[in-house]
Copies of this chain bind each other. A is one copy, B any other.
């Protein structure tokens, strides 16, 4: 039997009862003969409470100290979890990110893992312990300061440890049964996906699916660590994300994984840009220089009469103000008529292998939207994804229409509890 890494989010360890329930599940895995490493997030609302405290003492908390503060959260949950496991008669030891060898860069609040040296974890396992590791945190290589990994940090910790320890699988326990063909809150007939490739999962994650974050899937793909996303509230098989999950991919036929949607973005249109080389570059340089990540970019065909074109792009709503300010400041060097800002948009994406070589997919996608009376504002495609921007208030009917059109609806209405994941 090999080594398993399990990750439990904050909602799974929200209180003492949750911790005891998770402890039983961990012990069950140990009893099957596996070596078990557990990555745990802070309990329920702990992080929010700590953030609130920080706000009470300082309007702009220092990054270094903010990380020191937040990491107290996992310290509490991991120690309690180790105690609960020992109370079931099994040996367990908890480790901070630093003790577990999670080495990061020095960017506080959103550090990136640059190495994992899990010597102490290996020793603890070899001595028969279950190792409990604090998610979301590490120690900076340069200054040896405590860092946190930002959103999705605990999932990334789990995958990184699984890679460093050569684990069989990284199990991500959450409060849903797995990854679904669409958001079950919107599409009642959404089906749980049994197996999905890293590539499709990456596209779903960057298209609005929130069960796994892009960053964690990317890490797993690079080191080829299978991820099993499953519920901590049931014993059901969840969704396997791996390299070899679509053996029939060689068959040149579109295999649709699912429909994702995202209402967290806004659209900016730069109106009346001269259609000549370098103008678009200046616009996106201004955006990039302000550390703003953009998503879809579309440039209209320019009107022959004026020689002017419009450039539209989408970006997180939270970055909207900053982007507008950055563009206004470029008016001296970039010619354009006006800026339009629109945060009442939604992005709907269809993800699946073989899409590019099956023109019928794109056509079917647009037909489904058209039949549902949904207007398309922007279009963007990749090898395995096609995304459109629509009005925000049309997103639910759009997602349902596409889900049905591509035969994703389940036979029966499943009752699924769906919530966000922890950090």
- Chain A residues at the B interface, C-beta cutoff of 8 Å: 16, 19-20, 23, 50, 53-54, 56-62, 64-66, 68-69, 71-73, 75-76, 78-84, 86-87, 92-94, 99, 120, 144
Given A57-B19, A84-B57; A69-B64 close (CB under 8 Å): no
B83:A75 contact, CB within 8 angstroms: no
A16:B53 contact, CB within 8 angstroms: yes
Complex CA–CA separation, A68 to B93 (angstroms): 10
B83:A62 contact, CB within 8 angstroms: yes
A57:B94 contact, CB within 8 angstroms: no
Complex CA–CA separation, A58 to B87 (angstroms): 6
B59:A79 contact, CB within 8 angstroms: no
A4 to chain B, nearest CB (A): 21
Complex CA–CA separation, A96 to B315 (angstroms): 39
A57:B93 contact, CB within 8 angstroms: no
Given A65-B94, A68-B82, A72-B75; A57-B99 close (CB under 8 Å): no
Please indicate the chain B residues that have their CB under 8 angstroms from the CB of A68 in the complex: 75, 78-79, 82, 94
A58:B78 contact, CB within 8 angstroms: no
A64:B84 contact, CB within 8 angstroms: no
A16:B72 contact, CB within 8 angstroms: no
Q: Which residue of B lies closest to A53 (CB)?
A: B80
Please indicate the chain B residues that have their CB under 8 angstroms from the CB of A57 in the complex: 16, 19-20, 23, 80-81, 83-84, 87
Please indicate the chain B residues that have their CB under 8 angstroms from the CB of A62 in the complex: 82-83, 86
A69:B65 contact, CB within 8 angstroms: no
Q: Which residue of B lies closest to A80 (CB)?
A: B57
By Cβ-Cβ distance, the 6 closest A-B pairs, closest first, are A16-B56, A69-B79, A68-B79, A58-B87, A72-B75, A58-B83
Please indicate the chain B residues that have their CB under 8 angstroms from the CB of A19 in the complex: 57
Complex CA–CA separation, A60 to B75 (angstroms): 19
Given A16-B53, A16-B56, A76-B53; A86-B69 close (CB under 8 Å): no
B76:A50 contact, CB within 8 angstroms: yes
B71:A83 contact, CB within 8 angstroms: no
Complex CA–CA separation, A84 to B75 (angstroms): 23
B79:A65 contact, CB within 8 angstroms: yes
A380 to chain B, nearest CB (A): 42
Complex CA–CA separation, A335 to B183 (angstroms): 79
A69:B58 contact, CB within 8 angstroms: no
6 A–B contacts, CB within 8 A, in A order: A57-B83, A61-B83, A64-B93, A68-B78, A68-B82, A72-B73
Complex CA–CA separation, A294 to B80 (angstroms): 34
A340 to chain B, nearest CB (A): 39
A268 to chain B, nearest CB (A): 34
A394 to chain B, nearest CB (A): 44
Complex CA–CA separation, A78 to B68 (angstroms): 9
Complex CA–CA separation, A272 to B77 (angstroms): 54
